[in-house]
Amino acid sequence: MENHKGNKFSFSSFLGFLSLWLIFFCSALFLKSVFLFKISKYEIFRNNNIFTIFEVHNTGAAFNILSNHQEFIIIASFIALLILTAVIIYYSAGISFLSRISMALLSAGISVNTFERINYGYVTDYFYFNLFPDIPVFNVPDIMIVIGASLIIYSVIRRK
C-alpha cells in the first residue's frame, strides 16, 4: 500500500475504511434485492442484447471452481478477510485513500458472498453479458472483488 509511514495505528483511517466497507456491503445487498425483484417480477430482463439478468445459484467460487465445497470456500474467505483487516490495521496510518477504497471494495465483496454462502449455501449470481458468452454469470460483489483486486495490483505496480 502506498504512502506507508510506519505501523502506527490510525483510528480515523481505520474508521474511514470501516465506513467505506459498510457502504459497499449495504450497496451490494440493496442492489441484489433490486435485481432479484426485477427478476421475480419480469422473469428475465434484457437490455439491448448487451446483458441479461437472471438468477443462478452458484455453489462454487469464481468460474464455479470448487463447486459444492462451501466449507473450504468459507474458511478461505475468512482467512482473506482476516489478512485484509490485519493489513488495514497495521498500515492504517500511512495507507492512501485509493488503497483504502480498493481494500474496502475487495473485503465487502468477499463479505457479501460469504454472508450468502453461510445463510443460503450458495451465492446468487444474476448478471450475464451476452457480448462475452464465455464469461459466467456474476453479481455485484464479484464486480467489487475484481475492481478492488485490480486497484490493489495497480497501486503495487505504480509504487515500483
Q: Are 89 and 14 in contact (CB under 8 A)?
A: yes
Express each pLDDT in 26-47 by its tens digit. 999 999 888 777 665 445 555 5
**What is the rounded average pLDDT of the residues 130-142?**
84
Burial of 11 (0-12, 13-18, 19+ CB in 10 A): exposed
Total tally of structural domains belonging to the chain: 1
Residue 2 within any structural domain of the chain = no
More confident residue, 43 or 145: 145
The candidate with the shortest Cα–Cα distance to 24, out of 143, 125, 84, 108, is: 108
Indicate which residues carry an active-site annotation. 125, 142
The pLDDT of residue 64 is 66
Residue 74 within any structural domain of the chain = yes
Residue 5 within any structural domain of the chain = no
Express each pLDDT in 48-69 by its tens digit. 577 777 788 888 887 667 777 7
Quote the CA–CA distance of 66 and 54 in Å, as a whole number. Answer: 22
The pLDDT of residue 159 is 77
Quote the CA–CA distance of 56 and 93 in Å, as a whole number. Answer: 41
Express each pLDDT in 72-130 by its tens digit. 999 999 999 999 998 888 877 778 888 889 999 999 999 999 999 999 999 988 888 87
The pLDDT of residue 54 is 77
Residue 6 within any structural domain of the chain = no
Nine-digit cell at 148? 478492488
Residue 62 within any structural domain of the chain = yes
Looking at this protein, which amino acid is placed at residue 147? I
The pLDDT of residue 115 is 95
Give the up-direction half-sphere exposure of residue 123: CA atoms within 13 A in the CB hemisphere: 32
More confident residue, 108 or 11: 108
Check pLDDT > 50 for residue 4.
no
Angle of the 11-42 helix axis to the 97-120 helix axis, nearest 10: 50
Give the up-direction half-sphere exposure of residue 154: CA atoms within 13 A in the CB hemisphere: 12
Looking at this protein, which amino acid is placed at residue 53? I
Residue 4 within any structural domain of the chain = no
- Domain region containing 105: 11-159
Nine-digit cell at 70? 462451501
Check pLDDT > 90 for residue 148.
yes
Quote the CA–CA distance of 106 and 49 in Å, as a whole number. Answer: 29
Residue 113 within any structural domain of the chain = yes
Confidence (pTM): 0.84
Quote the CA–CA distance of 53 and 145 in Å, as a whole number. Answer: 19
The pLDDT of residue 42 is 47
Query: In whole angstroms, how large is the CA radius of gyration of the chain?
Result: 17
